[in-house]
Structure 1
Amino acid sequence: MPYDRPSLSQLVTRAETDLSARLLDGDTPLRRSVVGVLARVTAGQAHMQYGYLEWLAQQPFVDTAEAEYLARHARIWDVARKAAVAATGAVRLAGQDGAVLPAGTELQRADGTLYTVTTDATVAAGVAVATVAAQAAGAAGNTAAGASVTLASPVAGVQSTGTVDAGGIAGGVDEEDDESLRARLLRRIQEPPHGGNAADYVAWALEVPGVTRAWVYPLRMGAGTVGVAVVADDATDGPIPGAELVAAVQAHLDSVRPVTAEVFAFAPTPLPVDVTLRLTPDTEAVRAAVRAELRDLFARESEPGAVLRISHLREAVSLAPGEQDHAVLAPAADMVPAAHEMPVPGTITFTAA
């Protein structure tokens, strides 16, 4: 049977009873007596020890272990926490033709985030297009196209202020959090390697930073081939991954796959699902909650070729905090993608009642 940890008040009562029996011949101690003080002090110490023991009892198990011990379990099973990835992209700065923006030059976003030019960029036709990388790895380095950046130090012949090029500065990924690491570790324990079965390919794909889900398609390109579709739900431009992430998955799969298999990593074809809603009450707070619930729905249930039920969409809207009533005006039926397509959030429109 489970062990019930005593509460602080129960421990105080036990200590008072014990001290009273040993020092006062069973008499009830006075409210402000020394016995009462000793009872509360010893009970407080015991309560802290019970708390530590309760916490310690959770650490030997993967599903309840906290960060430090979870990382230790992962190392034992040779499951590495996915490292953070720095965002990369390009910026445009005006200048005099022939002027050079050298590699190593620092640029700064309005909030102080720093980027470094990775290769020399020469001004041509009045503009230098420089490739940059965030100095600090993580999603915080991602920046939308058109955002302003400034040179940390002047460069001769190049204007100090520029803009992020089309496509933005993207690809930045935070270090894997505990719950994601826990899920991969549990998968490793519950589905041990089998020399290249479907579960192995999923596990290998999920080892790549930025990949959140993966699906396997045996014989996709014929005998001896395996297709692996991946998505990046946490990316700012996700869930459909960019070519750079797909290439990283391909390279990793090529390094671990069985020599007899030819593997192809790919991104599903997006099938945008536009949603039109009428809400009651129709406030900004409720709209934001609805958007969050719909994003969560797509992250949970959207898969390549899988039907996304209109009833589940209605349920997601109903789960939004503050929502009292709603009507889904579009889509009018289940979303049925082709085998290579994956439903992704489209434009969410709110109409007046």
Structure 2
Amino acid sequence: MVRKKFTPVFEENESTIRDRVLSRVDDSWRKEPGDFVYDTVATVPEEIKQLQVNQDTILKNGHAQYAEEEYLDLLLAEVGLKRNAATTNKRTLSVTADAGVRIEAGHTASAIITDSSTGDPIEYTVDVLTEFATNSTLNVNITALEPGTMANLATGTEITFVPPIAGIRSIVDLGTYEKGTDKETDESAYARYEFKVNNPDTGGNKNDYRTWVLGVAGVGDCRVIPRWNGNNTVKVVIVDAEKKPASPSLVEAVQTYLDPGSTGLGEGKAPCGAQVTVVSATALEVNISANVTYTAGYDPAAVKKAFEAMSAEYITSLAFTDTPLVYNKEGALLISTPGVSNYSDLLINGATADISPAVDQVCVLGTVTI
């Protein structure tokens, strides 16, 4: 969501402050630049302006709609909320090694890709001790040293152990099984704050479930379905921070938080008697094809990439909104893509109609053929 922009209340220009101070000096004194009075007064406005800036900062951070960083965290705490912290990437390596090789828990695994902010290789640590009783291939789970999305590398990334371990023949990255997420943004945290304030706790209505679920790190959105399997049953459908189907570990984390084991015994956040079932949304793949006339001088591959980015952003924005994916909207995105001068035969999943996902589905971009 787009938050309101704070308009300074107290801050003034230094010249305005200086002129006002000089106006308070009796006119019997010379007050031109270079005069004693003027030069004495000239040092004051800068300090006064800084005090005014500080006043505006205090005023801004005293209201949740404008507050930032740690000041917003304090206001979140006042209504029982907490900013979601960054989480770490978890992935699996397929390691082939000789009999007798030991990979100790905590051993460092380093990717060839570097962190864009530090220039250092992205590093992971081994989760548990892995021992090779025979010449064999075993899976080794590793966790990123630093939280955030930077470690969400593509499957197949070259990763090595540091220092090297004698007897290891090959290491194949099988990819992520739990994505890392960045620290929750001010915009996202305030959206939850606003929802909580406008929908105060009532002991377990739909809005309460939404507030609880969105407070779990890694959850991007949710849908609450009451009485889905009879009285006293609640289904919660979730997506991850990228508005895509959630991982099994994220589903389990939310399930444990709300109703461990789906027993309805009130051992989690959900009230006694409410048997909660948490599931991931299922993906409804959106495949797009069209014949495109390119503008001279544009690279077709670059045009396709730009359209895919715009289409993916649009599709992601529809998650759990009850808004259909509009066929004509995709056409508008395509014709507005730089390098596209015209198009024909646009098809979405082989048809020319809008797409309405089911209550437990989210659209995800599939193949794009233009």
**Scaled by the length of structure 2, what TM-score is found?**
0.80
Q: Which residue number corresponds to residue 29 of structure 2?
A: 23
Cα displacement (A) at 1:264? 0.9
1:112-131 deviation digits (Å, cap 9, x = unpaired): 22222222323455323211
**Do structure 1's residue 211 and structure 2's residue 216 form an aligned pair?**
no
CA distance in 2, matches of 1:22, 1:279: 79
1:140 lines up with 2:150 in the alignment: yes
Structure 1 residues 179-234: Cα deviation after superposition (integer angstroms, max 9, x where no partner): 22222122211111111100011111111111011111111122221111111143
What is the aligned partner in structure 1 of residue 86 from structure 2? 84
Q: What are the Cα deviations for residues 54-73 of structure 1, in whole angstroms up to 9, with x where unaligned?
A: 22211221111121211111
Letter in 2 for 1:115: Y
Shift of 1:244: 1.3
Q: Which residue of 2 aligns with 1:198?
A: 206
Query: For residues 191 and 304 of structure 1, what CA distance do their matches in structure 2 show?
Result: 18
Which runs of 5 or more residues in structure 2 are unaligned?
1-7, 115-120, 260-267
SS in 2 for 1:113: strand
Counterpart of 1:253 (choices 255, 258, 272) is 258
Equivalence for 2:229? 221
* Residues in 2 aligned to 1:294 and 1:196: alpha-carbon distance in whole angstroms: 37
For 2:233 and 2:182, the matched residues in 1 are separated by 32
% identity of equivalent residues:
24
**1:265 alignment counterpart:** 278
Q: 1:156 & 1:289 partners in 2: Cα distance? A: 46
Q: Cα–Cα, structure 1 residues 120 and 70, in superposed 2: closer, same or farther, change >3 Å?
A: same
In 2 relative to 1, CA 11–323 (structure 1 residues): closer, same or farther, beyond 3 Å?
A: farther
Q: Which residue of 2 aligns with 1:333?
A: 353
Query: C-alpha offsets along residues 20-67 of structure 1, whole Å, 9 cap, x if unaligned?
Result: 73623xxxx445444444444322222222222222211221111121
Q: For structure 1, list consecutive stretches of 5 or more residues without a partner in the other structure.
A: none
Amino acid at match of 1:132: I
Task: Work out which of the residue numbers 98, 103, 106 in structure 2 matches 1:104.
Answer: 106
**Local SS of the residue matching 2:288:** strand
Does the alignment pair 1:172 with 2:180? Answer: yes
Indicate the SS of the match to 1:258: coil
Which structure has greater strand proportion? Answer: 2
**How far is the alpha carbon of 1:80 from its aligned partner?**
1.6
Paired residue type of 1:253: L
User: Distance between the aligned counterparts of 2:327 and 2:305, measured in 1?
Assistant: 20
Q: What SS does the corresponding residue of 1:220 show, helix, strand or coil?
A: coil
User: What are the superposed Cα offsets for residues 291-330 of structure 1, whole Å, 9 maximum, x if unpaired?
Assistant: 443333223223386421223334555777x578664723
Compared with structure 1, are the counterparts of its residues 17 and 276 closer, same or farther at alpha carbon in structure 2 (3 Å cutoff)? Answer: farther
Residue 122 of structure 1, aligned match among 121, 127, 131: 131
Q: Aligned with 1:64: secondary structure? A: coil
Is the alpha carbon distance of 1:3 and 1:103 closer, same or farther for their aligned partners in structure 2, counting shifts above 3 Å?
A: closer
1:162 — aligned with what? Answer: 171
- In structure 1, the partner of 2:3 is none
Deviation of the 1:16 alpha carbon: 4.2
Moved more, 35-44 or 222-231: 35-44
Q: What is the TM-score of this pair, normalised by structure 1?
A: 0.84
- How many residues align structurally? 339
The aligned residue for residue 295 of structure 1 is 312
CA change 1:11–1:185 in 2 (3 A) is same
Map 1:53-68; keep pairs closer than 5 Å. 53-68=55-70
Deviations 1:51-106 (A, max 9, x none): 22222211221111121211111122221222222221211222213433232322
The equivalent of 2:117 in structure 1 is none
Aligned to 1:342: 362
User: In the TM superposition, what is the alpha-carbon distance from 1:342 to its structure 2 partner?
Assistant: 2.1
2-structure distance, mates of 1:66, 1:90: 37
Q: What is the CA RMSD across the aligned residues, in angstroms?
A: 2.9
Answer whether contact 1:8 1:43 (CA < 8 A) is retained.
Answer: yes
CA distance in 2, matches of 1:273, 1:295: 10
